[in-house]
């Protein structure tokens, strides 16, 4: 599966930590969009779709959540609970974000502007598309 965890270099000093994210350095694509989700209710999953073209990098900058990535053959669940770890989600990978802690802020970088037609929201359709 073309997804991977990326370990960001933590900088900073006695005042605290700092992480810098730059396109094509530690973010493996052009950054066109940044969004974040927070305040997700306990037991409520998010995502549950794939994208035709969009690649994403997900970072839990506060709290924790799980992200299950599925290429139609294998599903792998990652726990995101460190602000220095990013999870790359390629296009045509089904993603489900779940088990959010109350304080979770999930920051997402994407290489496309928002376009609803890029979403595949039906799992059976996803399996057809990747055949």
Residue 49: active-site member: yes
CB of 9 to ligand T46, least distance (A): 24
The binder of ligand T46 chosen from 27, 55, 56, 86 (CB under 6 A): 56
Taking the least distance from each CB to ligand T46, the nearer of 46 and 66 is 46
**Under rule CB under 6 A, residue 33 binds ligand T46:** yes
Residue 102 region, left (φ>0) first, then alpha (ψ -120 to 50), else beta?
Answer: alpha
Dihedrals phi, psi of 71, to nearest 5 degrees: -100, 15
The interface region with ligand T46, picked from 20-28, 77-85, 106-114, 122-130 by CB under 6 A, is 106-114
For residue 126, which of 50, 48, 47, 45 has the smallest C-alpha distance? Answer: 50
Minimal distance in Å, beta carbon 109 to ligand T46? Answer: 10
Question: With contacts defined by CB under 6 A, how many residues of the chain interact with ligand T46?
Answer: 11
Among residues 17, 18, 35, 76, the one that binds ligand T46 under rule CB under 6 A: 35
Establish if 82 lies at the interface with ligand T46 (CB under 6 A): no
Classified as helix, coil or strand, 51 is strand
* Nearest distance from C-beta of residue 57 to ligand T46, angstroms: 10
Strand ranges for the chain from DSSP E:
3-7, 11-13, 16-18, 33-38, 46-51, 56-62, 65-70, 75-80, 85-89, 94-98, 105-110, 119-120
Active site residues: 49
């Amino acid at each position: 599966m073309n997804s991977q965890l990326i370990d960001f270099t933590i900088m900073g000093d006695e005042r605290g930590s700092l992480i810098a994210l730059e396109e094509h350095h530690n973010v493996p694509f052009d950054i066109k969009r940044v969004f974040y989700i927070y305040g997700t209710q306990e037991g409520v999953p998010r995502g549950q779709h794939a994208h035709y073209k969009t690649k994403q990098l997900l970072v839990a900058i506060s709290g924790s959540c799980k992200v299950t990535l599925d290429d139609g053959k294998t599903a792998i669940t990652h726990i995101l609970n460190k602000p220095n770890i990013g999870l790359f989600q390629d296009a045509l990978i089904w993603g489900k974000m779940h088990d959010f802690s109350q304080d979770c802020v999930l920051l997402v970088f994407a290489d496309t502007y928002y376009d609803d037609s890029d979403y595949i929201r039906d799992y059976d359709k996803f399996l057809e598309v990747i055949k």
